[in-house]
Amino acid sequence: MMTQFIVRRVLYMIPTLIAISIVTFLIIQAPPGDYLTTVVAKLEAEGAYVDRSQLDALRERYGLDDPLWSQYWTWISGIVTEGDFGRSLVYDAPVADVIQDRMGFTILLSLSTLAFVWAVAIPIGMYSAVKRYSIGDYAATFVGFLGLAIPNFLFALVLLYVSHRYFGQSVGGLFSPEYEDARWNLGKLLDLLAHVWIPVIIIGTAGTAGMIRIVRANLLDELNRPYVTTARAKGLPERRLLVRYPSRIAASPIVSTIGWLLPSLISAEIIVSVVLSLPTTGPVMLKALESQDMYLAGGFLLILSVLTVIGTLISDILLARLDPRIRYGKR
């Protein structure tokens, strides 16, 4: 049953991915002129001589005189077969190379943030629901709204100040200067951990505040359901009861947020990474958009969209595991 469900979901992903790649390609093509026009403009602005034959070679290479659908085909088949996303204009390097290093940090940061959001929000939300209208519940609500209200950049600056002033850490980045270019070892890992908590807290705080509200509301909905009373009438201890019955069902709407949480974390990451000068995709994405480096921007867009689709797939699979009604198509 489960395998069949997963296969079906993976098959559904294919048309979605194709649609996404087409839309991304159209976005790349949207600015007037083509990629080479931008290159020539840039080179001529620098006063460089543009070699006609070199230009033609590039034209040939990117198939720029071909019809749009054929260009799309060249672009997408390059990506699918060779991982060739085209060339970045700004960095003067293959897009794949520019993205590669940074994508790892972005994913690391996003997953750490996700873990942080859940580790903090789920216990607090559950506590708030079970002890509704207690002092602890009111305190969680208050701190939660505070977290939602403080702008990320302000929070970033405050935390930077605190970490520099009281922990003596280097400002910004994910590494201290001495580890910046070092090879990976335990020291570098620890250094990363010492730095990564700042962006994680900054990016995660608003999400945590929202998630506390979601967890609380979902659990409150379930706490007085008849099946909970039944479980209590069996003689289950309260704690086990809470984890096994209402939480299991209240978890479904939370799991279903995984899909869209990823893009929202990444977009929150852009601003924070610029402020903290982190080696993630955020600042590069911003730069690519500013300078119309469309292959680079398109590559990012495509990868992020694909990650979102994968996140949705993961959340669907988890949901089906949590709720047999989904597995059996009853819902």
Partner 1 sequence: MEPAPPILHVENLRTQFPTETGLVKAVDGASFSVSRGKTVCVVGESGCGKSVTGRSILQIVDRPGQVVGGRILWRPNDAHEPTDLAALDPRGDEIRRIRGNEIAMVFQEPMTSLSPVHTIGSQIVEAIRLHTDLDADAARARTIEVLEHVGLPRPADRFGAYTFQLSGGMRQRAMIAMALACDPRLLIADEPTTALDVTTQAQILRLLARLQAEMEMSVLFVTHDMGVVAQIADEVVVMYLGTVVETGPTEQIFAEPRHPYTRALLDAIPRVGQRRRGRRLATIRGSVPGPHSRPTGCPFHPRCDYARPGTCDTREPATVALGARRHVRCVLAEEEVAVG
**Residues at the contact surface with partner 1, assessed by CB under 8 A:** 224-227, 229-238, 244-245, 248-249, 322-325, 328, 330
Q: Which is nearer to partner 1, 8 or 248 (CB)?
A: 248
Q: Which is nearer to partner 1, 227 or 260 (CB)?
A: 227
Our CA dihedral for 43, 44, 48, 50, rounded to 10 degrees, sits at: 80
Q: What is the CA radius of gyration of the chain?
A: 24
Q: How far is the CB of 249 from partner 1 (least distance, A)?
A: 6
Query: For residue 230, what are the contacts with CB-CB under 8 A and spacing of at least 6?
Result: none
Q: Which is nearer to partner 1, 127 or 245 (CB)?
A: 245
Number of C-beta neighbours around residue 321 at 10 A: 13
Q: How far is the CB of 235 from partner 1 (least distance, A)?
A: 4
Strand partners, 94: 87
Q: How far is the CB of 69 from partner 1 (least distance, A)?
A: 47
Tokens for 48?
A: 């460089």
Closest CA relative to residue 301, chosen from 125, 309, 172, 146: 309
Q: Which is nearer to partner 1, 161 or 328 (CB)?
A: 328
Q: How far is the CB of 6 from partner 1 (least distance, A)?
A: 19
Q: Which is nearer to partner 1, 92 or 238 (CB)?
A: 238
Q: How far is the CB of 202 from partner 1 (least distance, A)?
A: 36
Residue 226 and residue 195: Cα distance in Å, rounded? 48
Closest CA relative to residue 205, chosen from 132, 156, 270, 257: 156
